[in-house]
Chain A
Amino acid sequence: MIGFLLSIVAVLVLVGIAVVGVWGLDLRILFGVIVPYAALITFFAGMVYKVLDWSRSPVPFRIPTTCGQEKSLPWIKRNKIDNPASGGAVLLRMALEILTFRSLFRNMKLDYRQGPKIRYSSEKFLWLFAIMFHYAFLVVLIRHARFFLEPVPKLLAALEAVDGFLEFNLAAVGIGLPTVQLSGLVLLGGVSLLLLRRIVIPQVRYISLAADWFPLFLITAIGLTGILMRYVVRVDVVSIKELAMGLATFHPVVPQGVSAWFYVHLFLVCVLFAYFPFSKLMHLGGVFLSPTRNLANNSRSVRHVNPWNYPVKTHDYHEYEDDFREKMIGAGIPVERETAAEEPAAPAAEGKKEE
């Protein structure tokens, strides 16, 4: 509960900082130039550092989680994707994981009834909300490239046209709005549903930390300020693009007439970027590195090398035979030496080490 409330407070404080900074103190260079650069540097440097740091730790064993029949006898039908035997198949498994959230799609829900009767029902909501959220986020992110590119590439315009197809429907019923971009709404919808899920499902609420609430609220605030600027408060898009182009071309300018709402939006985005590498949001990078997913299940046919494999103390056969020689001979089990090596022709070897 504390984590939940503090996360809301934290986001409100962040909004407040931007409002006071820009409206009150007019720190437009700080919020329009310095913070964005600092956030981007932190984001990229942090990402690189984190991925390199993970990569520094080796993968000593080949431990894919296999989710289907392995490659064995040629006449046994194998599951190439969920139990990949080669690098190519791993690529396919990873692509499906990253692009379609395949593992989440498997999700099922426990249905525990008295009896006991245990059943499992299909549970696709988490998958659906996650897909909504991530893809909408991606489209929104790509759409924002129009602020940094001149002329706007055709492909981007095409994406916007698809994203804005609702416009036609709305225009048909006579509702006049700026082009409604579906992605923004889906993003807000997705993030709200994920948030709701975290609040409503008792087990998920129980495991949630501030680090889980905060990004959800932060992204909600980013989405809300974005939508606000698009549909409610009028902002000067031309000067915003001027500022963005300045940042992109490393000739930063702070044009007059940019709404303070924009600075709030931008500041929240900067916080998200700077926070990213140090948070659970790094699952973006981590998902590529997960040894249970990105390795082929071929450790019986191809040798996998552990770089730190070190010699260990074992109990070798000769020690074993020394312990049990008399008993082995007595039981007719073949031995390497009839008598212990250290005790040549010693009849007193009997009962040397009675267990």
Chain B
Amino acid sequence: MAVKTPSPQVVSQIDHHPPRQKWMDTKPEFKPGSYLYGAQPGNLEGVGLPNPREWSPADDDWKLPADWQGTVREGIAERLTRFRSFKLFMDICVRCGACADKCHFFIGTGDPKNMPVLRAELLRSVYRGEFKTAGKILGKLAGGRKLTEDVIKEWFYYFFQCTECRRCSVFCPYGIDTAEVTIIARELLNLLGCNIDWIAGPVNNCFHNGNHLGLQPHTFKENAEFLLDDIEEYVGVRIEPTFNRKGAEILFVTPSGDIFAEPGIFTFMGYLMLFDHIGLDYTWSTYASEGGNFGFFTSHEMMKRLNAKMYAEAKRLGVKWILGGECGHMWRVVHQYMDTMNGPADFLEKPASPITGTVFNNAAATKMVHITEFTADLIKNDKLKLDPSQNDHLTVTFHDSCNTSRGMGLLEEPRYVINNVCNNFVDMAPQATRENTFCCGSGSGLNAGEYLEMRLRGGLPRANAVHRVHEDKGVNMLACVCAIDRAVLPPLMDYWVPGVGVCGVTELVANALVMEGQGPREYNLRGEENLSYKPPADEEAPAEAGEEGAE
């Protein structure tokens, strides 16, 4: 199963010059490491998606359904009438090339079809060739082509090589957003059963079990209990959170990845400690136990189907409002889609912090607040007992998630929080942060193991910006507000910038929190020796510079 990944020296030999052969005459090569496995039939059947079958993208025959061309044509026509974005973006591109070198996959591969303009042309050419008079008559000369099986394969290859990060859209003079094009293209591919399994699996899991990982309710609770044991061991306090509790004031929802694997679990422990510290009346839900939404990477409809659980559970439990954890695409969905799809949430109240009294007017309709907004407000109102020196062995930089940056605008809150819980924070270059931020290389459901080489390539621009602050400023910790980031940045750092760890912002908060009744904080939440720990006695701490690093 394991696909061998070449060395950084080999991978970084990238030629950004296009080949001689015209793009309509080239075909993608499905070689290991460069494509994602096809959706397993069970995962499509589980949620009623069409054409479930055993197949592999490396096969010649993709077993497309009968009259698949008609299906795609109808699919395009229908979406043109539903989405002005799609219709407009098919018509107005002038191919100025401003977007060309903005895509992390283009930078990391040099493949011209990863230039956003050309990625969109993959679909636009079919739009012209099948729907436009000039394209129908003049064909290639008018930039049109017919729908063939090769086109579908090419779509699959490249629309699952776009992470919907929207960086191109920042630079486009008309705001053409490749994410919109990719979203539609993936919908079309899903009409033929051509999803990737790394998306289809989590979607099926989330639909039935409440979260992408497929954790059943008792397992979810057990996992949380392991982490509570760890907190007790390393911090010296016992926390007793509740699950599915009716009448709680707040429902907390976060990606399930954070209850499952390192280093996300340390962020999860951070939430537990933070809420305990302030005495928050909140509950977890095992039914709405997923903040993320891989449905968003499948179709608008699937996004809505999975997202519906959040409001439904908030209503059932009778909470006042919802607090959301650190996650990128979850917040794109919550911020730009949720209320429209599944609202109005008139059974909830306008969110107000029970600790500070601050009313979150910016969430008046959706009734959902981001954890760093919530924490920033707590810090501003001096409600947290913090000892930032506990993070003194860390020099931290911050990775802006694509979705929270370009689909929301959450830029200052995490920085404010980090600056209040850490003494050493430096930003990366402005060309690679905030609205210019680079994707981790694995967003939008592409974080599968078989895709590692491509992910490392896509993550190269991000890693390179980290490399610079690692060399120049001694950065050894990359903080982020996204569960996918926490899962994929560690291997990215190990590959390109060894010596830089990855953590969630709330983990840093928890490191600095002075918990009531806590024991000596000799160990951090990871169970590693806390290099910033200073014992209360005058005896020198054995603060040998032991290797600090992510597991």
Question: Once the chains bind, are B408 and A66 in contact (CB under 8 Å)?
Answer: yes
Question: Once the chains bind, are A299 and B222 in contact (CB under 8 Å)?
Answer: no
Question: Once the chains bind, are B174 and A308 in contact (CB under 8 Å)?
Answer: no
Q: Which 8 A-B pairs have the closest CB atoms?
A: A70-B409, A286-B92, A331-B218, A292-B175, A110-B101, A66-B409, A206-B18, A204-B97
Query: Assuming the A-B contacts A114-B12, A300-B365, are A202 and B222 also in contact, with contact meaning beta carbons closer than 8 angstroms in the complex?
Result: no
Minimum Cβ distance to chain B for residue A307 (Å): 9
In the complex, whether A242 has a CB less than 8 A from a CB of chain B is: no
Question: Once the chains bind, are B305 and A312 in contact (CB under 8 Å)?
Answer: yes
Across the interface, which residues of A come within 8 angstroms of B73, CB to CB?
Answer: none
Q: Which of B62-70, B372-380, B474-482, B542-550 contacts A (4 or more CB under 8 A)?
A: B372-380
Minimum Cβ distance to chain A for residue B411 (Å): 5
| Cross-interface CB contact of B312 among A59, A305, A313, A316, cutoff 8 Å | A316
Question: Once the chains bind, are A73 and B376 in contact (CB under 8 Å)?
Answer: yes
Query: Assuming the A-B contacts A65-B406, A286-B174, are A305 and B431 also in contact, with contact meaning beta carbons closer than 8 angstroms in the complex?
Result: no
Instruction: Give the interface of A toward B (CB within 8 A).
Output: 2-3, 6, 50, 53-63, 65-73, 75-79, 82-83, 97, 101, 103-104, 106-110, 112, 114-118, 120, 126, 130, 201-212, 278, 280, 282-283, 286-287, 289-293, 297, 299-306, 308-309, 312-317, 320-321, 323-324, 327-328, 330-334, 355
Across the interface, which residues of A come within 8 angstroms of B461, CB to CB?
Answer: 118
Question: Once the chains bind, are A107 and B98 in contact (CB under 8 Å)?
Answer: yes
Across the interface, which residues of B come within 8 angstroms of A289, CB to CB?
Answer: 84, 88
Question: Once the chains bind, are A333 and B286 in contact (CB under 8 Å)?
Answer: yes
CA distance A79 to B410 in the complex (A): 11
Across the interface, which residues of A come within 8 angstroms of B465, CB to CB?
Answer: 118
In the complex, whether B301 has a CB less than 8 A from a CB of chain A is: yes
Is the contact region of chain B dominated by helix, strand, or loop, or is it mixed? helix
Listed A/B pairs (17) with beta-carbon separation below 8 Å: A59-B85, A72-B360, A83-B409, A101-B173, A112-B14, A204-B100, A206-B112, A207-B23, A207-B97, A207-B118, A210-B142, A280-B93, A280-B95, A292-B176, A299-B339, A315-B305, A331-B217
Contact with A along B465-490 (1 / 0, CB 8 A): 10000000000000000000000000
Question: Once the chains bind, are B407 and A65 in contact (CB under 8 Å)?
Answer: yes
Question: Once the chains bind, are B82 and A63 in contact (CB under 8 Å)?
Answer: no
**Could you say which of A54, A60, A67, A282 has the most chain B C-beta atoms within 10 Å of its C-beta?**
A67
In the complex, whether B309 has a CB less than 8 A from a CB of chain A is: yes
Chain A residue nearest to B341 (CB atoms) is A309
Contact with A along B423-436 (1 / 0, CB 8 A): 00000010100110
Minimum Cβ distance to chain B for residue A191 (Å): 13
Query: Assuming the A-B contacts A63-B180, A118-B107, are A304 and B339 also in contact, with contact meaning beta carbons closer than 8 angstroms in the complex?
Result: yes
CA distance A69 to B434 in the complex (A): 9
Question: Once the chains bind, are A300 and B409 in contact (CB under 8 Å)?
Answer: no
Count the B residues whose beta carbon is within 8 Å of the partner chain — how many? 113
Query: Assuming the A-B contacts A63-B336, A305-B340, are A69 and B411 also in contact, with contact meaning beta carbons closer than 8 angstroms in the complex?
Result: yes
Instruction: Give the interface of B toward A (CB within 8 A).
Output: 12-14, 16-18, 23, 48, 80-88, 91-98, 100-101, 107, 112, 115, 117-118, 121, 134, 141-143, 166, 169-177, 180, 207-210, 214, 216-218, 221-222, 243-246, 286-287, 300-301, 304-305, 308-309, 312-313, 316, 334-337, 339-341, 343-344, 358, 360-366, 368, 373, 376-377, 380, 405-413, 416, 429, 431, 434-435, 460-461, 464-465
Across the interface, which residues of A come within 8 angstroms of B460, CB to CB?
Answer: 116, 118
Question: Once the chains bind, are A317 and B313 in contact (CB under 8 Å)?
Answer: yes
Minimum Cβ distance to chain A for residue B30 (Å): 23
| Cross-interface CB contact of A58 among B18, B84, B245, cutoff 8 Å | B84
Chain A residue nearest to B461 (CB atoms) is A118
Query: Assuming the A-B contacts A297-B408, A334-B244, are A56 and B81 also in contact, with contact meaning beta carbons closer than 8 angstroms in the complex?
Result: yes
Query: Assuming the A-B contacts A287-B173, A300-B363, are A66 and B84 also in contact, with contact meaning beta carbons closer than 8 angstroms in the complex?
Result: no
CA distance A343 to B363 in the complex (A): 42
Question: Once the chains bind, are A314 and B312 in contact (CB under 8 Å)?
Answer: yes
Minimum Cβ distance to chain B for residue A302 (Å): 6
Question: Once the chains bind, are B94 and A120 in contact (CB under 8 Å)?
Answer: no
| Cross-interface CB contact of B170 among A67, A76, A297, A355, cutoff 8 Å | A67
**Could you say which of A2, A82, A120, A297 has the most chain B C-beta atoms within 10 Å of its C-beta?**
A120
Question: Once the chains bind, are A330 and B335 in contact (CB under 8 Å)?
Answer: no
Across the interface, which residues of B come within 8 angstroms of A209, CB to CB?
Answer: 95, 142-143
Chain B residue nearest to A336 (CB atoms) is B316
Across the interface, which residues of B come within 8 angstroms of A2, CB to CB?
Answer: 141
CA distance A205 to B112 in the complex (A): 11
